[in-house]
């Protein structure tokens, strides 16, 4: 006679084993799917850096990167880097104008220097010095667009304001101040905001010098007429760039010193951006061949 009790026990044991295997398979499938969804770690500038690192794909896709509590959304297309900051209506942080402003607040080797009063400083293309300078700054072509909004007026765009920008060349030197370029005034210029509150400059992507993340300085003035004296400025701030874009640019000819300097700095150790840079992070589109367009919204309280 068959032992039915033994057969039943064996059946139950086989059924439990099957369920356990299924649960184990399900857990592995879920874990695999979760791992595939995790973003790859970004490169450059140190592990604590923040920014958006985008990948190149054959089709257009939308991605989201969350870093240090800030979510930035962008679009990636073939051969193009795009990074978008949040669009909150906030006053952009006040920052130092640094040691090389050329706005009349300090001196170079020849005395007080104020490029704002120079004939020709109101211009869009700032790559070439204006007289008496003659040099043209080499580097990856970059279009800078800054839109000024008034946070005291429901963040309405501000037309008729003025913006002065300046930054270092690809070697990390500032015209008017750095050795070898004290007689030059390139990479400095003023523009009046248009009907959309925007100024547009043609320049080169700035290099990275020791101790600072790549950046562009700018000052906002209430009008073009008042953009001749730093005492009239209503905001001084700086523009930051995504790590992925910096790595792309610095891999090109002429930026070799930036590669070394960029590897030794991060947003966390930068003495300006370490306390936060969300509102100063630019949107970047383009590539090293065609050039980049960097865009920033600057909220001011007028």
Whether the per-residue pLDDT at 47 is higher than 60: the answer is no
Residues 244 and 221: their CA atoms lie apart, in Å, by 32
Domain spanning 103-300 has what CATH number?
A: 2.60.130.10
Report domain extents, the chain: 103-300
Residue 293: Cβ within 10 Å count: 17
More confident residue, 186 or 26: 186
Confidence class of residue 46 from pLDDT cuts 50, 70 and 90? very low
The answer to whether 193 and 273 have CB atoms below 8 angstroms apart is no
Handedness of CA 34, 36, 37, 42 (dihedral sign): positive
Record the pTM.
Answer: 0.73
Q: What is the mean pLDDT of the chain?
A: 80
Mean pLDDT of 26-52: 33
Confidence class of residue 4 from pLDDT cuts 50, 70 and 90? very low
């Amino acid at each position: 006679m068959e032992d039915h009790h033994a057969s039943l026990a064996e059946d139950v044991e086989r059924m439990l084993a099957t369920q356990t295997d299924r649960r184990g398979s399900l857990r592995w499938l879920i874990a695999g799917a979760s791992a595939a969804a995790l973003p790859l770690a970004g490169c450059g500038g140190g592990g604590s850096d923040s920014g958006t690192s985008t990948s190149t794909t054959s089709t257009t896709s939308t991605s989201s990167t969350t870093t240090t509590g800030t979510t930035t959304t962008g679009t990636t297309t073939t051969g193009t880097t795009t990074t978008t900051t949040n669009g909150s209506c906030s006053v952009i942080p006040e920052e130092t104008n640094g040691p090389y402003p050329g706005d009349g607040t300090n001196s170079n080797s020849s005395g007080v220097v104020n490029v704002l009063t120079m004939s020709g400083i109101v211009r869009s293309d700032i790559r070439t010095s204006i007289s008496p300078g003659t040099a043209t700054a080499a580097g990856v072509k970059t279009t800078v667009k800054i839109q000024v909004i008034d946070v005291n007026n429901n963040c309405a765009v501000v037309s008729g304001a003025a913006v002065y920008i300046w930054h270092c060349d690809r070697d990390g030197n500032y015209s008017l101040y750095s050795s070898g370029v004290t007689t030059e005034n390139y990479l400095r210029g003023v523009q009046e905001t248009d009907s959309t509150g925007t100024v547009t400059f043609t320049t080169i992507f700035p290099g990275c010098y020791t101790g600072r993340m790549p950046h562009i300085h700018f000052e906002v003035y209430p009008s073009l007429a008042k953009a001749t004296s730093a005492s009239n400025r209503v905001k001084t701030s700086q523009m930051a760039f995504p790590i992925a874009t910096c790595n792309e640019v610095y891999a090109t000819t002429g930026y070799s010193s930036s590669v070394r300097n960029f590897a030794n700095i991060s947003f966390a150790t930068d003495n300006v951006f370490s306390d936060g840079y969300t509102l100063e992070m630019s949107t970047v589109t383009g590539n090293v061949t065609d050039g980049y367009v960097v865009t920033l919204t600057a909220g001011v309280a007028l």
